[in-house]
Structure 1
Amino acid sequence: MPRPQILTYVDAGASEWTACLMRTIGHQLHAGAYEIRAVMADEIRHDATLFDDAVLFVMPGGADLPYCALLNGAPNARIRHFVEQGGVYLGICAGAYYACRELAFHAGTRGAICGPRELRLVDAVAVGSLPELTGGRLYDGTPRTTAAVELRTTDSLTDVPMSLYTHYHGGCRFDFDDPPGPGTQVLAVYSGIDGTPPAIVSARVGKGRAVLTGVHLEISERECKDALRGHSDMPAYLYVCDRLAQTGDVRLLVFRQLLAHAGLVLD
């Protein structure tokens, strides 16, 4: 009997962090319980059996516009059908922007990316990046706009709210109509921003669920340092890694709770 599959998108737009994400998810799972499979856009479009054994579809961080270019139309319809029939979509950073009703990325600037999104699993506007988390700097893809940001979970994710630092690099907050629709939960908030806007959310979609996070819970202090190696200004940003280390155990616990919320059986 085939094992349940976790499908992770690795085509154009997916960032170099995707391998780290797949590895970190794999380390949390019950041994042998799942197959983690990398998938391309053509498979989503043409493989009629792709979702037959899938329980989770992971859309990683990276860039939203290449996702739109390859997945608009039939592929998005298949992803949405998978979720509506009981599957779970996990969107991280760009994967979270992509699954909202609309995004507003750097609105009002020359490089703005704004507008509705076809997949529309969560009825929210994904707003970013968030310069109030990065010393006033808009995301530019370099270590200058990375940060270890303060997060606080809600009792929808952890029995007792927890505070932690987690990796941030260009992610979003989620702006809902007030109040959010039925079946929608705020799992964590940015506690370092006025108004503590949602940082991680979950929404019922048919029989399934979409779980979206504007931050990278999967990235540890060690992986942060690995990513900075080779950058001439690495020493100036090691404080980000050091801050992640302060709450590393809590970060991993919260990431595990997020995977459990998505329905996975953990080790």
Structure 2
Amino acid sequence: FISIQHFIMVHKQIQIYKDLGTSEQCYIHLKNAFQYLTSLYKIEEINSTIINNQNIQSNLLCFGGGYDLGYLNLLQLSGCLNIHNYIKENMGRYLGICAGAYFACDYCYFDMNGPLEVYGERYIKLFQGLFSDNGKPAIIGSKLGNGCGILSGVHFEYDPYLLEKQIYNVDPENNVNSSLSQLE
């Protein structure tokens, strides 16, 4: 079993992917979650240019929600293989949430025959099995060579306080809806 505490407590640098395909809201929540957990770790943004052209230096590489076809568009096979090798050869750690989770699998089937249908081979191959259990949430720990990862269909990084501020434009501490107060 691989715990999220292992990921956070062992490493001093966490990089979160932010580029084409990244949901801004998911990125904000993921960054906020790590900043909330500790101030002892450096949280950095990483993009496709860095992944494609440099060795990944992260102790924990995170891909949050969004759409993985955007990730694939910029990273191409070479960037995905860089991530694969970072995990497998360099004892890398990977955290994938929602699109970031299925991006790291062997093959993706998402919303088949639906409006958001995505399918096809993926190249990180952190998890090579097939998991589907009638819409139940899944969190999978997996090893790849010397490294490992956690793949989660669940958005456990979402902060209700931050969601309330984003969705309703409410400041929960003062219980004020800024949109309504502007009208008065």
* TM-score of the pair, normalised by structure 1: 0.54
Matched-pair identity in %: 30
Match of 2:125 among 117, 120, 135: 120
The whole-number CA distance in structure 2 between the counterparts of 1:124 and 1:223 is 34
The whole-number CA distance in structure 1 between the counterparts of 2:66 and 2:115 is 20
Task: Please state which structure has a larger fraction of its residues in helix.
Answer: 2
**For 1:208-227, what aligned pairs fall within 5 Å after superposition?**
208-227=147-166
The whole-number CA distance in structure 2 between the counterparts of 1:110 and 1:37 is 33
The whole-number CA distance in structure 2 between the counterparts of 1:119 and 1:206 is 12
Contact kept? 1:72, 1:118, Cα under 8 Å? no
| Runs of 4 or more above 6 Å deviation | none
* TM-score of the pair, normalised by structure 2: 0.77
Deviation string 1:106-142 (CA, Å, 9 cap, x unpaired) is 21235421122122211134xxxxxxxxxxxxxxxxx
Verify: 1:37 aligned to 2:41, yes or no.
no
Task: Please state which structure has a larger fraction of its residues in strand.
Answer: 1
Name the residue aligned to 1:144.
Answer: none
Contact kept? 1:64, 1:94, Cα under 8 Å? yes
Match of 1:203 among 142, 149, 168: 142
Residue 26 of structure 1 and its aligned partner are, at CA, apart by 2.0
- Structure 1 residues 113 and 202: CA distance shift in structure 2, 3 A: same
**How well do the aligned residues superpose, as a CA RMSD in angstroms?**
2.1
Verify: 1:24 aligned to 2:29, yes or no.
no
Deviation string 1:151-173 (CA, Å, 9 cap, x unpaired) is xxxxxxxxxxxxxxxxxxxxxxx
**For 1:165-176, what aligned pairs fall within 5 Å after superposition?**
174-175=131-132
Name the residue aligned to 1:6.
Answer: 14
Partner letter of residue 17 of structure 2?
Y
- Segments of structure 1 that go 5 or more residues without pairing to the other structure are 126-173, 176-192, 231-267
Partner letter of residue 21 of structure 1?
L
The whole-number CA distance in structure 2 between the counterparts of 1:213 and 1:63 is 14
Verify: 1:71 aligned to 2:75, yes or no.
yes
- Structure 1 residues 109 and 198: CA distance shift in structure 2, 3 A: closer
The whole-number CA distance in structure 1 between the counterparts of 2:136 and 2:116 is 24
Contact kept? 2:86, 2:92, Cα under 8 Å? yes
Deviation string 1:61-112 (CA, Å, 9 cap, x unpaired) is 0111100101122211111111112111000011011111111112123542
**For 1:33-182, what aligned pairs fall within 5 Å after superposition?**
34-48=41-55, 50-51=56-57, 54-84=58-88, 85-109=90-114, 111-125=116-130, 174-175=131-132
Deviation string 1:227-257 (CA, Å, 9 cap, x unpaired) is 3226xxxxxxxxxxxxxxxxxxxxxxxxxxx
